[in-house]
């Protein structure tokens, strides 16, 4: 798992090049990305890094999960249904310090 908002915010150029090389050399490896951003904004920022498409996206501070598909990442509806009743988005949107 790579944190788009922390470890990939200002990545080391050498480390990023090594990650690209390794992912190309070993296609069975996959990556997942976490971000507090919405999926669209996270994908836009991730595209700037020129890495292979992640197999998994965890976005919106963990309230949304998307799984890679041939066209675009698809929402994990089971996760989103189970997460609706917790009030997570409401709490996060009202007080981001919690």
Q: Are 59 and 70 within 8 A, CB to CB?
A: no
CATH number of the structural domain 2-94: 3.40.50.1000
Going through the chain in order, the beta strands assigned E by DSSP cover 2-3, 32-34, 56-59, 64-67, 74-75
Q: Are 93 and 61 within 8 A, CB to CB?
A: no
Determine the pLDDT at residue 95: 36
What is the chain's mean pLDDT, rounded? 80
Q: Helix, strand, coil proportions of the chain in percent (round to 5)? A: 40, 15, 45
Q: Check residue 62 and report its DSSP letter.
A: G
Q: Which residues of the chain have pLDDT under 70?
A: 70-72, 74, 76-98
**In the chain, where the domains are located:** 2-94
Residues 5-33 pLDDT 10s: 998 889 999 999 999 999 999 988 889 99
């Amino acid at each position: 798992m790579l944190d788009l908002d922390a470890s990939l915010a200002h990545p080391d150029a050498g480390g990023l090049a090594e990650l690209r090389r390794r992912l190309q050399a070993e296609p069975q490896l996959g990556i997942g990305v976490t971000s507090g951003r919405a999926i669209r904004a996270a994908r836009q920022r991730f595209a700037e890094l020129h890495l292979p498409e992640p197999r998994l996206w965890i976005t919106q501070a963990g309230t949304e999960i998307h799984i890679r598909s041939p066209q675009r990442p698809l929402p994990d509806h089971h996760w989103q249904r189970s997460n609706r009743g917790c009030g997570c988005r409401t709490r996060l949107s009202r007080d981001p310090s919690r």
